[in-house]
């Protein structure tokens, strides 16, 4: 972070300095988790559902924080503000304004933001010092906290932008105005809150609208709602496509998956072509890789560097398509980070691919925040699972009552010979699976974040005395 005095922080945030030396300097990290407060840092106290950060103000300062950003008086050096996210946004914007040479990229979409951000960051880091968020730091807290990590040495910011409603991405783009904007897809994640896919498209397209005339909009040509965003931007448009036939400048052709579902393809760009093999699993990572490639290309990386970087890039964020092979020959796909209809279909596709020669099982929890279409969406996914491959999944285990419509959908497929099993919780799902699994079987574990099925995946991975 750029060193800022408490007087400067008070001025930028419109806050009031209390119990502090105006010349005391914040040069460490800005955090909202007091346990992560460290020397010279700034602790932003937020009132959450379970605890109130203000109760930890003294602990943060004892751990070395220079001061606390607070909305009510505390007994330690602090800057009192009306609204903490707004104060963080103002601070982040002041850092961006102080670093005009930093090139800022924003990545949005319904699925694959973190995967793409992690790929893009691993490419862009080869060009120069890069700040990218850890995990999914993509909202009104995580976004400014990430931006605040930039300093005079930073050359690139690769940011993940999330929206749960109209105006959210426009807001994030005001905090750190991107010159490069990547839109991956428009899908059903949070579609219930938005009120349908057209509204999701409206919200994600705010990134395209925020780009300046000398910026670049990097759009997925394979998603019509994304491609239509070309009409909503002043920026130059660059498209990418993994379709067999396309006029997009950045493409993947000859896509193949190895036994573990890792894609290989020929990367085509106007400068030439190069073979790429990803270390990530699942065909859905091909468009993510193309988006990262298109961004790196705009930032000046040559084709060889892009192909080499994509081949070297690893999964940085946990629980997204982690493929684990047990000593007993069972393969576990831990994709428990989150779930929406598109990402569950992508994961079932990967499961079916990995299970060629064995049987496929899925432990699925519910997909949250789908609104009125929730039941039908769950049924459709169940049906998809029952139809996949030659004979559908060998077993579909739905965890929790809200996931039960998955089983109704699977049972609609008359020819399906697999088992539809209901489990009240993860432990019960593990029990159901325990005496069914045989060597060469593959198990997918996936659900919305709230279901916390990563523990189920971890238990499965740890079984059979690895
Ligand atoms: N391009 C894609 N299309 C469909 N599904 C995808 C795509 N990329 C990733 N996924 C799936 O979506 C899940 C979440 O991926 P990721 O964390 O990258 O998305 P995200 O957009 O950052 O999600 P969040 O909104 O929770 O931050 C992964 O587990 C994977 O199964
Ligand atoms: Mg994410």
What local confidence, expressed as pLDDT, does residue 465 receive?
41
118 CA from centroid of ligand 2 (Å): 10
Joined together, the tokens standing for residue 99 give: 């670093």
- Mean predicted confidence (pLDDT) in 381-407: 94
- Are 135 and 110 in contact by the 8 Å Cβ rule? The answer is no
Check residue 182 and give its pLDDT: 98
**DSSP state, residue 368:** P
Q: Hunting for tokens 């030439």 — which residue is that?
A: 272
Strands, E assignment, 97-151: 103-108, 130-131
In short, whether 111's Cβ falls inside 6 Å of ligand 1 is yes
Our answer on whether the CB atom of 223 is closer than 6 Å to any ligand 1 atom is no
CB within 8 Å of 157: residues ≥ 6 apart: 102, 103, 104, 105, 130, 131, 132, 146, 147, 150, 176
Residue owning the nearest CA to atom 11 of ligand 1: 343
pLDDT value at 90 more than 60 = yes
pLDDT by residue (tens digit) across 254-264?
999 999 999 99
Instruction: Give the closest residue to 64 by CA, choosing from 87, 90, 37, 96.
Output: 37
448-464 pLDDT, tens digit per residue, is 888 889 999 999 998 65
pLDDT tens column, 182-201: 999 999 878 778 888 999 99
Cβ atoms of 144 and 131 closer than 8 Å:
no
Would you state the pLDDT for residue 464?
53
Ligand 1 pocket residue status of 448, Cβ below 6 Å: no
User: How many Å apart are CA 460 and CA 305, to the nearest integer?
Assistant: 38
The per-residue pLDDT for 463 is: 67
pLDDT score recorded for residue 392: 83
Write down the mean pLDDT value for the chain. Answer: 95
Say what the pTM is: 0.92
**In the predicted model, what is the mean pLDDT of residues 140-146?**
95
Q: How far lies 123's CA from each of 143, 211, 415, in Å?
A: 20, 22, 46
> pLDDT tier at 437 (50, 70, 90 boundaries)?
very high
Pocket test for ligand 1, best of 107, 113, 115 (most atoms within 8 A of CB): 115
The larger pLDDT score, comparing residue 138 to residue 120, is at: 120
β-sheet with 156-160: strand ranges across: 130-131, 156-160, 103-108, 180-183, 216-220, 236-241, 250-257, 263-269, 272-277
In the chain, what are the helix, strand and coil shares in percent, each to the nearest 5? Answer: 35, 20, 40
Ligand 1 lined by 445 (C-beta under 6 Å): no
pLDDT in tens, 295-320: 999 999 999 999 999 999 999 888 88
Per-residue pLDDT band for 466 (boundaries 50, 70, 90) equals very low
Instruction: Out of 196-200, 290-294, 379-383, pick the least confident.
Output: 196-200
Question: What single-letter DSSP state applies at residue 423?
Answer: E
**In sequence order, what are the residues at sequence separation of 6 or more whose Cβ sits closer than 8 angstroms to the Cβ of residue 224?**
none
CA dist 35 and 156 (Å) reads 28
- What are the start-end ranges of the E strands in 258-294? 263-269, 272-277
Ligand 1: centre distance to CA 320 (Å)? 8
Q: Over range 378-383, report the average pLDDT.
A: 97
* CB of residue 335 inside a 6 A radius of ligand 1: yes
Closest CA to 179 of 76, 83, 82, 101: 101
* Sequence-ordered list of residues with C-beta below 8 angstroms from that of 66, at least 6 positions apart, any chain: 6, 24, 25, 26, 27, 28, 40, 41, 42, 77
């Amino acid at each position: 972070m750029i060193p800022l005095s408490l007087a400067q922080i008070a001025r930028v945030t419109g806050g009031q300095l209390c119990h502090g030396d105006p010349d005391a300097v914040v040069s460490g990290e800005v955090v909202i988790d007091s346990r992560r407060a460290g020397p010279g840092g700034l602790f932003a106290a937020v009132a959450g559902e379970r605890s109130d950060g203000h109760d930890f103000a003294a602990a943060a300062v004892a751990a070395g924080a220079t001061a606390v950003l607070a909305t009510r008086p505390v007994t330690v050096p602090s800057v009192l503000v009306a609204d903490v996210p707004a104060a963080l946004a103002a601070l982040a914007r002041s850092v961006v304004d102080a670093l005009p040479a930093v090139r800022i990229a924003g990545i949005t979409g319904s699925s694959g933001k973190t995967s793409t951000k992690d790929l893009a960051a691993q490419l862009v880091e080869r060009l120069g010092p890069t700040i990218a968020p850890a995990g999914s730091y993509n909202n009104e807290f995580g976004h400014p906290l990430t931006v605040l990590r930039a300093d005079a040495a930073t050359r690139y910011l690769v940011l993940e932008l999330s929206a749960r409603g109209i105006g959210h991405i426009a807001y994030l783009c005001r905090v750190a105005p991107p010159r490069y904007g990547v839109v991956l897809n428009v899908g059903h994640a949070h579609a219930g809150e938005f009120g349908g896919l057209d509204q999701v498209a409206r919200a994600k397209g705010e990134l395209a609208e925020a780009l300046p005339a000398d910026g670049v909009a990097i759009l997925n040509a394979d998603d019509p709602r994304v491609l239509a965003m070309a009409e909503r931007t002043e920026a130059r448009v660059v498209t990418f496509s993994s379709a067999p036939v396309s006029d997009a400048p950045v493409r993947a052709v000859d896509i193949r998956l190895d036994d573990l579902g890792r894609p290989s393809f020929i990367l085509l760009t106007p400068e030439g072509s190069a073979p790429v093999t990803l270390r990530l699993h699942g065909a859905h990572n091909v468009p993510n890789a193309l988006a990262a490639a298109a961004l790196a290309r705009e930032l000046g990386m040559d084709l060889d560097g892009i192909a080499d970087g994509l081949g070297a890039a690893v999964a940085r964020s946990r629980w997204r398509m982690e493929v684990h092979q047990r000593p007993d020959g069972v393969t576990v796909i831990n994709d428990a980070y989150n779930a929406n209809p598109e990402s569950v279909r992508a994961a079932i596709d990967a499961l079916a691919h990995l299970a060629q020669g064995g049987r496929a099982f899925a432990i699925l929890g519910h997909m949250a925040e789908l609104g009125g279409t929730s039941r039908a969406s769950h049924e459709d996914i169940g049906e998809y699972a029952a139809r996949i491959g030659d004979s559908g999944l060998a077993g579909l285990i739905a965890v929790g009552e809200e996931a039960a419509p998955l089983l109704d959908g699977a049972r609609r497929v008359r020819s399906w010979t697999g088992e539809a099993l209901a489990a009240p919780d993860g432990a019960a799902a593990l029990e159901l699976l325990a005496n069914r699994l045989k060597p060469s079987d593959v198990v997918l574990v996936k659900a919305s974040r709230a279901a916390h099925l990563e523990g189920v995946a971890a238990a499965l991975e740890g079984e059979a005395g690895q």
